[in-house]
Amino acid sequence: MSKFPGDRSFREVARFTQDCGSICTHASQYCLEMGGAHADATHMRLLQDCADICEATSKLLLRSSPQRAQITSVCAALCDLCAASCDKLTGDAQMKTCADECRRCAAACRQI
Encode pLDDT of 8-59 as tens digits.
Answer: 688 999 999 999 999 999 999 999 999 999 999 999 999 999 999 999 999 9
Closest CA relative to residue 78, chosen from 37, 6, 20: 20
Q: What is the DSSP code (8-state) at residue 2?
A: -
Residue 83 within any structural domain of the chain: yes
Q: What is the pLDDT of residues 53-106, one digit of tens each?
A: 999 999 999 999 999 999 999 999 999 999 999 999 999 999 999 999 999 999
Domain encompassing residue 26: 7-110
Residue 97 within any structural domain of the chain: yes
Residue 1 within any structural domain of the chain: no
Residue 57 within any structural domain of the chain: yes
Domain count, the chain: 1
CATH number of the structural domain spanning residue 16:
1.20.1270.360
Residue 105 within any structural domain of the chain: yes
Residue 38 within any structural domain of the chain: yes
Q: What is the structure's pLDDT at 9?
A: 85
pTM for this structure? 0.90
Residue 2 within any structural domain of the chain: no
Q: What is the DSSP code (8-state) at residue 91?
A: T
